[in-house]
Amino acid sequence: MKILVGIKRVVDYNVRIRVLSDGSGVDTDGVKMSVNPFDEIALEEALRIKEAGNADEVIVVSAGGDECQQQLRTGLAMGADRAIQIQSSEALQPLSVARAFLKIIEREDPGLVIFGKQAIDDDNSQTGQMLAALWDRPQATFASKMVVNGSSATVTREVDAGLETVEVDLPAVVTVDLRLNEPRFVKLPDIMKAKRKPLDVVALDELGVTVEGNIEVGNHAPPPQREKGVMVEDAAQLITELKNRGLL
C-alpha cells in the first residue's frame, strides 16, 4: 500500500508575522519557512504505519513554486521514499489543490491519503474534505489516534463533545490533529540521504487542472493592539468599569 501525504510550505510558527505596509500580503523577505506543523504530524503517522508493516511506500506531495522543494526535501529526510512537486506559479486555494491531488491519486493509486487538519497560514481546513468528496472515498477528520487494520482504518476524532471513534474503508482521506504524535527530529545523515531520493516535478497544466473560481483577498491587516489593562481595587469597581465599557 502507498500512503500519500500532503505538505505545505508556510511561515515558521515561531516567526512573528508582519503585514506589508500596503496591506497586499505578509512580509516573507528573509523569514524562515517550514513544513506546516500539522503536515509534519501527518507525515510522522504515515512513516509509523509503514514501519509497522502496514504500508510499502510513503510519498510526500506539495503544490507551489520551486521554493517548496525545500520542504519536500525535509519530508524525504524524515523518511519519505519519494516526493512530488505540483508546480504552480500562483498561490492555490483549497479546491484547486484538491483537484490537483486527485490527479496525483489517479497516477499513484494510494491506499491512504493523510493531511494535516489545517494550514497555519490560512486556517481553511478544507483541502482534505474537498479531496474526499472529489475522490468519492470515506474521510476521517481531526484524528488524534489512528490504527490501520488491513483494508480499513479506525480513527479517534477530537470533537466538541469529546472523542469519537469511526471506522473507514480504505482507500480513504484522513486529516490529523496535534495530539496524534510527536514528529521525529531530522538528523544530518538523513538530510544528506534525502538529496539522492527522487523528487518529481509535475506542472499543474500537465495534470489538466485549471485554476478557477478563486477567492480574491482584497487587503491584509494586523490584529488591533490590545488596550492597556486597568487595575481595580474591588468587585464593585470592576462592575462599574465593565458598565462604562458597555460590557454589562
Of the listed ranges 30-34, 76-80, 154-158, 210-214, the one predicted with least confidence: 210-214
Question: Which CATH code fits 2-244?
Answer: 3.40.50.620
For the segment 199-209, the average pLDDT, to the nearest whole number, is 92
Rounded to whole angstroms, the Cα distance separating 156 from 142 reads: 8
Give the per-residue pLDDT at 230. 80
Q: How far apart are CA 151 and CA 155, in angstroms?
A: 13
Residue 227's pLDDT band, with cuts at 50, 70 and 90, is confident
Closest Cα partner for 175 from 134, 144, 152, 154? 144
* pTM (2 d.p.): 0.84
Has residue 131 got a pLDDT over 90? yes
Residue 213's pLDDT band, with cuts at 50, 70 and 90, is low
Dihedral sign for Cα 38, 92, 85, 23, please. negative
Q: Region 82-100: what's the mean pLDDT?
A: 91
- Mean pLDDT over 182-187 rounds to 92
What is the separation, in whole angstroms, between the first and last Cα of the chain?
A: 59
Given a cut of 90, whether residue 102 has pLDDT beyond it is yes
Average pLDDT across the chain, whole number:
91
Query: Does residue 232 have a pLDDT over 90?
Result: no
Which stretch of 153-157, 171-175, 194-198, 242-246 has the lowest confidence by average pLDDT? 242-246
Across the range 136-156, mean pLDDT stands at 94
3-state secondary structure of 75: helix
Q: Is the pLDDT of residue 215 over 80?
A: no
